[in-house]
Amino acid sequence: MACLSEKIGYGFGDMSSSMFWKVFSYYLPFFYSNVFGLSLVDAGVLVLVTRIWDAISDPMMGVIADRTQTRWGKYRPYLLWMAPLFSICGILLFTTPDWGYGAKLTYAYITYILMMTIYTAINVPYGAMLGVMTADPQEKTVFSSFRMFFAYGGSFIALAAWEPLTKWMIDNGKWTMNTAGAWQGAMIVIATACFVLFILTFTLTRERLKTVSTVSIGKDFRSLFSNRPWWLLIGAALCFNLFCTVRGATVAYYFADIIGFDRVLKLSIVNCQLSIIFYAGLFLSVGEVSNMLGVACTVPLARRLGKKSLFMAVNAVLLVLSIAFFFTPISPAGFWLMLLFQVLISILTGIMSPLVWSMYADVSDYAELRYKTASTGLIFSSSSMAQKFGGAIGGAAVLWLLSACGYVPRTDEQLVNQVLISQPESALLCLRYLMSFIPATVALIAILTCHFYPLTAERMTDINRQLKETRPYRLK
């Protein structure tokens, strides 16, 4: 049984990853089109190409990690080796060189591909650690819940701080007076925190299960491709990440062009009148806190309903809430309703995240029993692959749809001064669909995919009983 400090330490790892991932998912498309200076079409192609490379590289890293042997274990040493590069690449990604358009586009490709390669090199081994830290399937869900609780905590910090950080740096002029320098300065702060968190994860965690891969790489991949539960979970997880990415990548545009700047929420408590600025960072960070509430509900709900049933039920409610968001009025009362929908949707996506990771652990156990191969890293890398494919497709789709609908990007001066510009009606309608009907359709596809997923609670009980009798490795 792992101690509390180890569960917290494991959580620190995804706290670090999520601080970067959420900034990349929610602000990088806006950064490329409104700060860095790329066209919407070029930015969309950039996001798609680099994320696809990132997704393809995940299984490669999984195979490498499965065959790594050190005194620290298979997967854990990568946290130590990659943490400095992880932070440095994040800073380079949000650096805007004063070059011509072609040179800047090349720089964007190089830094984004480099960042995603290092992200893979640290995040795939980190995820695979869940398969070797404990043999208990229920404790895996607990570890997964700690992971996601801290992940959303890190996301909350990054998203809540991002816009105030950039504004503070511009207003105080300590770094620079332009938007590009302020975005770079904000990333330096975030990247430093991420480095410290990954070092803490390496220090506080241990690999308890010693597994040895005794088959060829080719057999590992053949076993993976014939693994039906893996294919179905990949499809369902891709839909989940697509759902989150489409909504998240749209928020900055939605607030800038539909809600507008300087909107205020008024709250009366007894005789006290409070005014809260309603901006994208607030909307997103409220979602992260709500995600944490959802994570806390995952273990008891999964025990009561089973993982498959819970997955389908959550997506059904997400579908309904997403459609309801379309009909929310743009008014003070409507803003409160938007926040309510964001809270409810985020609680549900908070339930989903640890649930999916725990289901990947089940797929790993299924593969070990059926195919007699310890390919934990390869299987967990597929989860990261699905996440990145979802991010690639979702991020690119948002940019391409906006471009097709005539969206007009802001200049640097308009962005700094928060100028409300006139957008064509087609672009505004597109933004509303991106926050409602499009995510709802993705949730429906996830339900249909998961319906065929065969690893029920009863099936996993039988699989784990057989594994206890057949596992050739020992606890360290």
pLDDT greater at residue 320 or residue 296 = 320
Torsion 272-168-200-392 (CA) sign:
positive
Q: What are 380-434's pLDDT values in tens digits?
A: 776 667 666 777 788 788 888 998 999 987 766 666 666 677 889 999 999 999 9
Percent of the chain with pLDDT over 70: 91
Please tell me the total count of domains within the chain. 1
Query: What are the structure tokens assigned to 168, written together?
Result: 């503070």
> What span, in angstroms and rounded, lies between the C-alpha atoms of 421 and 426?
14
pLDDT of residue 277: 77
13: its two tokens: 């790892």
**Domain assignment present for 23:** yes
Find out whether 163 and 110 touch, Cβ atoms under 8 Å: no
Question: Please, which residues have CB within 8 angstroms of residue 238's CB and are 6 or more apart in sequence?
Answer: 386, 389, 390
Describe the crossing of helices 437-450 and 425-434 by its angle, rounded to 10 degrees.
30
Per DSSP, 418 falls in state T
Beta strands of 278-332 (E only): which ranges? none
Q: Is residue 109 part of a domain?
A: yes
Range with the poorest average pLDDT among 225-234, 362-371, 438-447: 362-371
143 is written with which tokens? Answer: 């570890």
**pLDDT (average), residues 40-57:** 81
How much is the average pLDDT of 151-173? 81
Residue 80 lies in a domain: yes
Please state which of the ranges 16-30, 151-165, 462-476 shows the lowest mean pLDDT: 462-476
Q: Tell me: pLDDT of 343 over 80.
A: yes
Angstrom distance (rounded) from CA 418 to CA 163? 12
CATH of the domain at 394: 1.20.1250.20
Residues 116/387, Cβ–Cβ less than 8 Å? no
Give yes or no for residue 258 having a pLDDT over 70.
Answer: yes
Q: Please provide the distance, in angstroms rounded to a whole number, between the alpha carbons at the two ends of the chain.
A: 13
Residue 476 maps to a domain: no
What digits encode the pLDDT tens for the residues 405-415?
999 877 666 66
Indicate the residue type of 462: D
Express each pLDDT in 77-91 by its tens digit: 999 999 999 999 999
Kindly state the average pLDDT of the residues 132-145. 79
In a domain, 475, yes or no: no
**Percent share of the chain, pLDDT over 90:** 33
- CA-angle at 437, arms to 435 and 442, nearest 5°: 95
58 domain residue, yes or no = yes
* Distance (Å, whole) CA 473 – CA 208: 11
Residue 473: the pLDDT is: 47
Q: Residue 2 pLDDT more than 90?
A: no
Structure tokens belonging to residue 444: 């429906």
Sole residue written with tokens 């806006």: 30
Domain encompassing residue 261: 4-208+215-470
What is residue 339's predicted lDDT score, i.e. its pLDDT? 92
One-letter amino acid of 108: A
